[in-house]
Structure 1
Amino acid sequence: MARLALRFTEWAEKWFPDAFVFVAIAVVIVAGAALLNGAPVQAVTKSFGDGFWSLIPFTMQMVFVTIGGYVVATSPPVQALIDRLARLPKTGRGAVGLVAIATMLSSLLSWGLSLIFGGLLARALARREDLRMDYRAAGAAAYLGLGATWAMGLSSSAAQLQANPKSLPPSLLPITGVIPFSETIFLWQSMLIAAVLVTMSAVIALASAPGRDSAVTAQDLGIDPRREEEAISGPRQPGEWLEHAPLLTILIGLLALGWLVQEFARQDWIVAISNLNTYNFLFLMVGFVLHWRPKRFLVSLGKAVPATAGILIQFPFYAAIAAILTGAKNAGGHSIADVITHAFVALNTQGSFPLAMGVYSAVLGFFVPSGGGKWLLEAPYVMQAANELKVHLGWAVQVYNAAEALPNLINPFFMLPLLGILGLKARDIVGFSFLQLIFHLPVVLFLLWALAFTLEYHPPVLPG
């Protein structure tokens, strides 16, 4: 299976275009479908332009999820924690298992944190001369947060979007209403799936890691895993003194703490943390304080920003697609979203809908590798279908979350920041992650179908 996965990855690296090409193709296809559905050209072009900038707040919120996770993971205290964790394993296989568990648990806090944290932990373990750890297996384990559990945690794009009415597109809000975290990621059914995924993934990572005699280490691959720290010199001019002193960090940290205490005191903590602005503010301020000196924080920030380029350019196109799907209507008042909704309803029952939606989301996720962006494409019609079939709306979000993460295991799009840290190529780790996918796919789809029967439908709840 690993050989098959390696061949597949080599094919994908040769023939698959950049993810932006997929979103551009999606714009053309959706616009063409709207025209074939009878929508006037003016309606299609107007929807495209009107929708393009409609999600700027959400786009920036997703950018800061990436930045916040990065600056926390690269701070000196977290680096010290990584070094301590790296001293724990006694065997190479145990090291791979540690990376898997650490990255999946951290992904429940932030996918950005887990990706960087897992990569740095794998590198720290590779520096141990007494371990013969398979570096490729450790790299695949470091990716499990993105491939298995992130969408079931606090940084879930779909859950965050649905909990924040100001971030939702105006056309989507009447369909879904506001869905708080208590109805998505904090459902006991969701937490059960997360626990199953963490356990199963860690076991597979341990079982599939090559033993001492067959392990391929970082040194065997010609990779130097020693820590690369950028030397930060002290202030050279009087004006640079504040960049290297903790005074501003302390003062701003106290201001941030004061606001956070008030924010969490005035409302339930689940409501507070489900606000993307609060969530990002918390991570950014924690990262600022952990770096202690503004100069260190700014260096880390500069390294984090390039990883956000895909989000910045692709999300406006996703917003435009969502607008065309719902806004470009024919003479009968029907949009493409209406047509797809009717197809979902006609082909499914309340019982079969979670399974059908899970399969659909997983397949589409390989071509549109963006949890938040793809949700904007799917939500207008799958959530309307969920309403018509009386499927619990929060569970429909979690069906999307769990299924959408599956193709990440073999899609190289989100591997790029991790691969940069590790010095590996996608083909080096996909053999192991493909093995994870073989086990994940039937288990996740079965749980999404079976647990749906334990939940009851509630109509959309509109703000105010």
Structure 2
Amino acid sequence: MATRSAPPSDNLLARIALRFTAFTERWLPDAFGFVLVGTVIVLLLGLATGQSPTALIDGWGKGVWSLVTFTLQMAMIIIGGYALATARPVARVIAWLATIPRTPRAAITFTAAASMITSYLNWAFSLIFAAILAKEIARLVRGVDYRALGAMAFLGLGTVWAQGLSGSAALQVASAESSPKAVQEVIKAGRGTGLIPLTETIFLWQGIVATLIVFVVAVVTAALIAPSGERAKTAADLGIELKPLISPLEAEPKGRPGDWLERSPVFSVLIFAIGAWYLVRHFVNATGSPLNALDLNTINLILLLLALILHWRPHRLVTAVREGAPAAAGVLLQFPLYGGIFGMIAFTGLSATIAGWLVDISNPVLYPALIAIYSCVLGVFVPSGGSKWVIEAPYVLDAANQLQVHQGWMVVVYDLGEASANLLQPFWMLPTLAVLGLKARDIMGYTFAMFLVCFPTVLIVVTLFARTLSFP
């Protein structure tokens, strides 16, 4: 089919995004193909840098199941997030929010802002919440491009999440229980103590301002990136049926006496009370800041308990979980292979080799930008913020000590570079894509266009603000 020319109302950035999208729709494999190709690329890179073939293969095998716990945690986030978001009280909030934008451009901009705000608060909930919001907006706003809407629903994970309240690296270095001893020793060598408090990472005024700048740039770009007229592809154009988020509530059937347990809210309330009691104690007893207690297991428990109480009757929660479970299929299949890629980099000398190249050509002025680039590149192949920080932290912070660059600022630099990588690979897109019924190639043209604007912004701000901070 011949490509139709863009209408005059489409600006340059929108046309660029459409060109990228046309390319990705034609040439980019599905997310599973991406991880297959990525595995071979990392293997070849390892061989080219002198790594032993045996060491690379052993690293791959060791890494395949290294993310088993993380895989289950992510599957539970998808299922629990879906169950929570489809509970009637939350669904009503989402349905109300979806009525705010009235035009396609406003819809895409609003979704981008909502995604970034929720991911700043908690990235896991944002993945599902923003996707369901985008789906409902697409149902209400005529003519909105469903691909662009899907890309903006994911935007928070590609911009501000790591600088937010659930950012892995900042929470790790602030907690003696979470930060490896080797990392604490490197930190101690530069500042006399093995921990970096949140006030010197995500709550630095420089870090907050940098995050706000990225937010504003991303929102403006979202407004400009929206295609219009006949170039926009709606959900119907893509063969995706959009059903109302809130369906009519069916009357409870009488059933047999044995059905009482699954239809009564009594045990939902009791289990919620038990879980809430535990969570209060968990946060109160946390070492240092209560934020240090907010890990993936805690997030999943919160999602599950809220879904249980908001669905009110147990059988409704069971139905929601059953409907949400297929969305986790991509995670279950692909995360082990991403673990293999992680293993080839983490369990061989490949990561240190690449980092050494950057440090050799660095100086105190260029070091933050170079580490942002390195974190972004490595993040394409090892898309796991917390695990990748453990790999990078020893030599990133050691080099910061040698170059006398503020340690906390390097955590901020890592966060912003790490998040940017998510715009270039589909690992974290899987939950959002599953909810929306899209494929990675449908949205990656838009995320790549967003990367071309946001990442240079990151490089500029991390370089300029580094000059305002003193070592350590």
Partner SS state of residue 158, structure 1:
helix
Q: Which deviates further from its counterpart, 315-324 or 157-166? A: 315-324
Shift of 1:365: 2.5
State whether structure 2 residue 236 is matched by structure 1 residue 219: yes
Contact 1:63 1:308 (C-alpha < 8 Å) held by counterparts:
yes
> Which structure 2 residue ranges, 5 or more long, are not aligned?
1-15, 188-193
CA distance in 2, matches of 1:97, 1:32: 43
Q: Equivalent residue for 1:121?
A: 133
Instruction: Give the total of aligned pairs.
Output: 444
Q: Which deviates further from its counterpart, 253-262 or 157-166? A: 157-166
Q: Equivalent residue for 1:251?
A: 270
Q: Equivalent residue for 2:94?
A: 82
Q: Equivalent residue for 1:445?
A: 459
- Supply the RMSD in Å over aligned alpha carbons: 3.9
Match of 2:417 among 399, 403, 409: 403
Shift of 1:264: 4.0
State whether structure 2 residue 445 is matched by structure 1 residue 431: yes
Q: Which deviates further from its counterpart, 263-272 or 442-451? A: 263-272
CA distance in 2, matches of 1:379, 1:197: 24
Q: 1:32 to 1:245 in 2, by over 3 A?
A: farther
> Which structure 1 residue ranges, 5 or more long, are not aligned?
326-334, 459-464
Match of 2:158 among 132, 147, 171: 147
Percentage identity across paired residues of the two chains: 39
Contact 1:319 1:376 (C-alpha < 8 Å) held by counterparts:
no
Q: Equivalent residue for 1:290?
A: 310
Contact 1:31 1:324 (C-alpha < 8 Å) held by counterparts:
no
CA distance in 2, matches of 1:251, 1:135: 41
Shift of 1:276: 4.8
Shift of 1:29: 6.0
Q: Which deviates further from its counterpart, 303-312 or 75-84? A: 303-312
State whether structure 2 residue 144 is matched by structure 1 residue 133: yes
Q: Which deviates further from its counterpart, 194-203 or 287-296? A: 287-296
Shift of 1:21: 5.8
CA distance in 1, matches of 2:211, 2:312: 34
After superposition, the C-alpha distances for 1:176-215 in whole angstroms (9 at most, x for unaligned) are 5444433332332222222222222222222232346764
Partner SS state of residue 373, structure 2:
helix
Partner SS state of residue 412, structure 1:
coil
After superposition, the C-alpha distances for 1:433-461 in whole angstroms (9 at most, x for unaligned) are 33322211211111111122233444xxx
Q: Which deviates further from its counterpart, 393-402 or 261-270? A: 261-270
CA distance in 1, matches of 2:350, 2:276: 47
Q: Which deviates further from its counterpart, 171-180 or 433-442? A: 171-180
Q: 1:454 to 1:248 in 2, by over 3 A?
A: farther
Shift of 1:81: 0.8
Shift of 1:48: 8.2
Contact 1:272 1:278 (C-alpha < 8 Å) held by counterparts:
no
Shift of 1:163: 4.2
Letter of the structure 2 residue corresponding to residue 257 of structure 1: A
Shift of 1:54: 7.2
CA distance in 1, matches of 2:112, 2:440: 17
Q: 1:338 to 1:11 in 2, by over 3 A?
A: closer
Letter of the structure 2 residue corresponding to residue 6 of structure 1: T
Under a length normalisation based on structure 2, what TM-score does the superposition of the two structures give? 0.78
After superposition, the C-alpha distances for 1:40-79 in whole angstroms (9 at most, x for unaligned) are x8x9999888888777666665555555544433332221
Under a length normalisation based on structure 1, what TM-score does the superposition of the two structures give? 0.79
Shift of 1:417: 2.9
Q: Equivalent residue for 1:185?
A: 202
After superposition, the C-alpha distances for 1:209-253 in whole angstroms (9 at most, x for unaligned) are 234676433234433212478999868554443233222221122
Q: Equivalent residue for 1:309?
A: 332
Q: Equivalent residue for 1:208?
A: 225
Q: 1:81 to 1:337 in 2, by over 3 A?
A: closer
Q: 1:192 to 1:226 in 2, by over 3 A?
A: same
Q: Equivalent residue for 1:461?
A: none
Q: Equivalent residue for 1:22?
A: 38
Letter of the structure 2 residue corresponding to residue 2 of structure 1: A
After superposition, the C-alpha distances for 1:277-313 in whole angstroms (9 at most, x for unaligned) are 4444334333332333333334444525435426752
Q: Equivalent residue for 2:8?
A: none
Contact 1:172 1:380 (C-alpha < 8 Å) held by counterparts:
yes
Letter of the structure 1 residue corresponding to residue 156 of structure 2: G
